[in-house]
């Protein structure tokens, strides 16, 4: 059952993310051409502000998922406890939505005075308000359902519904942007299209989980470690989402637009790989609670696959980032978009972040959320302080490398906690996996800096992209098999079990 759902999650997540990735590249380009760098920078900044707002959900969601893992084992459901957890988490989501709505209104009123932009007060106010209204709908109705589907191995449902929603929302943005309407109406169309997602979830949940009974009287039951998860998510969002806000305050929304174009490339790749990881990570949660010894092999397998995939992707991206940005921003002259320092910074942020992904997930499963939250807060504070200091001296590159400098602390702590404290084993295998992937990436960076690549059209870009991707995947596949010899036998065992169940 796990293998069946893993494959479905993998296929649907990749397919949907490829489509979303393509739309995610086309729509900002249309907005940039239609409205200019100032408006594009505003939209990117507002998106990051709304990412901060999503902090109110993050702790509830992670805590609820960890609780649900105890009561879902394949086709066996502990329905009484699942109903209890779903009731507690729904109540928490709906309580927090009130604060979310007030916070959105406050931000809509104050943001026009804080950021440096040439756009008028009314435009900034309504853009923030309508972006936030979409989150209000999601918090109150949808998030609780999404968490259950993830734990039950049905991430493919989330992927498909999100795909439909994205296609509708992006279509609205494209049509309205091409007609040149005020971005307020474009955001209104985006909000109305996003409501359809609510009805799709409602239909599916009634069909598959009609047995869930919500009880408003949940007694003293609470979600374990919710407060610690909230602190961790606050810290991570502050850590990962301050750059454009700092640029909009200390520089301008045009500088934020430059950052957003590079960030768009890396976010697209990150979302693609994260969709795959999210679709498969229920295996980590269920295996940890089933058999800790078997979990160790799965832990190492995920480390190799996840970091190997991200390292390969970052290598290709580093080779092609500047040529892509040059093609993408051709014809836009209100600010220079070519910055050779940004690709290496963005690549390192992704690599170092994903180097602690599996270990960080384990710390939550094993009940160490409180300890990790303290390290996360130190990391976030370090990033903010360095960003404010470096932005005045180095501009866009300053805020990016502030993030790079702050990342190693939590990386080291999470992997030490996972290996030495939770799994009670030597950290050597994890160190070897990290060193091989990051080391090979740096070698390829050195190679790229000593060769000249002339890409003058999207056709050439695609050809080079295919060539570099094939070479990169082969290199990192060999490197990870050498670093983790058990990766082959673990995958072989999983496939043998899947084939046996399929034949049976």
Tell me the pLDDT of the chain (504 aa) as tens digits.
556 676 777 777 777 777 877 777 777 777 777 777 777 777 777 776 676 566 556 567 777 887 888 888 666 788 888 888 888 888 888 887 887 788 888 888 888 887 777 778 888 888 888 888 887 888 888 888 988 888 888 888 888 888 888 888 888 878 877 777 778 887 787 787 778 888 899 999 999 998 988 876 666 667 766 666 666 666 656 655 566 667 767 666 677 777 778 888 888 888 788 878 877 777 787 788 777 888 888 888 889 988 999 999 999 999 998 898 888 888 777 777 888 888 998 899 899 989 988 998 888 888 787 788 788 888 888 888 888 888 878 877 888 888 888 888 889 999 999 999 999 999 999 999 999 999 999 999 998 888 878 888 888 888 999 999 999 999 998 998 888 877 777 666 666 665 665 555
How far is CA 397 from each of CA 89, 256, 268, 467, 500, rounded to the nearest angstrom?
40, 11, 20, 29, 53
The answer to whether position 142 is within a domain reads yes
Residue 465, token pair as written in the block: 């992209």
Residue 216, token pair as written in the block: 């408003």
The answer to whether position 39 is within a domain reads yes
How far is CA 468 from each of CA 241, 317, 319, 502, rounded to the nearest angstrom?
30, 9, 8, 36
The answer to whether position 251 is within a domain reads no
Q: Strand pairing partners for 77?
A: 72
Q: Strand pairing partners for 73?
A: 76
The answer to whether position 107 is within a domain reads yes
Residue-level pLDDT at 311: 93
Residue-level pLDDT at 171: 83
The answer to whether position 265 is within a domain reads no
User: Using CA atoms, how far apart are residues 410 and 381, in angstroms rounded to an integer?
Assistant: 13
Could you write out the DSSP letters of every residue in 412-435?
HHHHHIIIIIIS-S-SHHHHHHHH
Identify the DSSP state of 222. -
Among 349, 325, 348, 321, which Cα is nearest to 335's? Answer: 325
| Residue 39, domain extent | 1-240
User: Using CA atoms, how far apart are residues 403 and 345, in angstroms rounded to an integer?
Assistant: 9
Q: How many independent structural domains does the chain possess? A: 1
Among 160, 154, 104, which Cα is nearest to 132's? Answer: 104
The answer to whether position 120 is within a domain reads yes
Residue 258, token pair as written in the block: 């430059």
- Residue 33, helix vs strand vs coil: helix
Helices (H), 195-242: 196-208, 226-241
Cα dihedral sign for 38, 40, 45, 49?
positive
* Stated pTM of the model: 0.66
């Amino acid at each position: 059952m796990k293998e069946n759902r893993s494959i479905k999650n993998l296929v649907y997540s990749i397919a949907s993310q490829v489509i979303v990735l393509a739309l995610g590249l086309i729509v900002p380009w249309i907005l940039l051409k239609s409205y200019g760098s100032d408006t594009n920078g505003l939209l990117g900044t507002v998106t990051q502000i709304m990412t901060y707002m999503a902090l109110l959900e993050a702790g509830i969601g992670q805590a609820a998922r960890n609780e649900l893992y105890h009561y879902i084992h394949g086709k066996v459901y502990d329905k009484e406890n699942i109903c209890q957890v779903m009731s507690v988490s729904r109540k928490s989501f709906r309580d927090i939505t009130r604060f979310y709505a007030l916070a959105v209104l406050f931000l809509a009123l104050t943001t026009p005075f804080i950021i440096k932009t040439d756009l008028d007060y009314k435009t900034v106010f309504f853009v923030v308000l309508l972006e936030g209204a979409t989150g209000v709908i999601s918090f109150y109705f949808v998030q609780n359902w999404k968490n259950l589907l993830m734990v039950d191995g049905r991430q493919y449902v989330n992927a498909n519904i999100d795909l439909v929603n994205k296609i509708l929302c992006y279509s609205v943005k494209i049509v309205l942007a091409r007609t040149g309407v005020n971005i307020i109406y474009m955001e209104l169309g985006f909000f109305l299209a996003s409501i359809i997602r609510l009805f799709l979830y409602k239909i599916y949940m009634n069909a598959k989980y009609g047995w869930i009974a919500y009880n408003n009287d949940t007694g003293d039951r609470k979600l374990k470690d919710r407060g610690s998860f909230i602190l961790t998510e606050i810290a991570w969002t502050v850590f990962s989402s301050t750059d454009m806000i700092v640029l909009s305050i200390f520089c301008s929304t045009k500088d934020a637009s430059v950052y957003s174009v590079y960030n768009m490339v890396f976010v697209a790749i990150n979302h693609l790989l994260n969709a795959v990881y999210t679709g498969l990570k229920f295996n980590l949660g269920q295996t940890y609670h089933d058999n800790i010894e078997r979990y160790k092999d799965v832990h190492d397998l995920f480390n190799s696959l996840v970091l190997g995939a991200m390292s390969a992707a970052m290598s290709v991206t580093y080779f092609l980032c500047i040529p892509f940005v040059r093609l993408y921003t051709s014809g836009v002259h209100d600010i220079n978009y070519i910055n050779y320092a940004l690709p290496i910074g963005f690549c390192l942020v992704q690599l170092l972040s994903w180097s602690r992904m599996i270990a960080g997930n384990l710390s939550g499963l094993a009940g160490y959320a409180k300890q990790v939250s303290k390290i996360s807060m130190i990391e976030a504070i370090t990033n903010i302080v360095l960003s404010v200091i470096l932005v005045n001296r180095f501009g866009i590159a300053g805020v990016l490398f502030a993030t790079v400098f702050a990342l190693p602390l939590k990386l080291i702590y999470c992997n030490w906690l996972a290996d030495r404290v939770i799994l009670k084993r030597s950290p050597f295998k994890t160190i070897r996996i990290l060193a091989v992937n990051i080391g090979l990436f740096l070698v390829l960076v050195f190679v790229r800096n000593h060769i000249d690549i002339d890409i003058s059209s999207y056709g050439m870009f695609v050809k080079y992209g295919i060539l570099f991707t094939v070479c990169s995947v082969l290199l990192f596949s060999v490197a990870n098999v050498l670093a983790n010899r058990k990766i082959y036998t673990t995958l072989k065992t999983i496939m043998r079990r899947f084939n046996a169940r399929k034949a049976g």
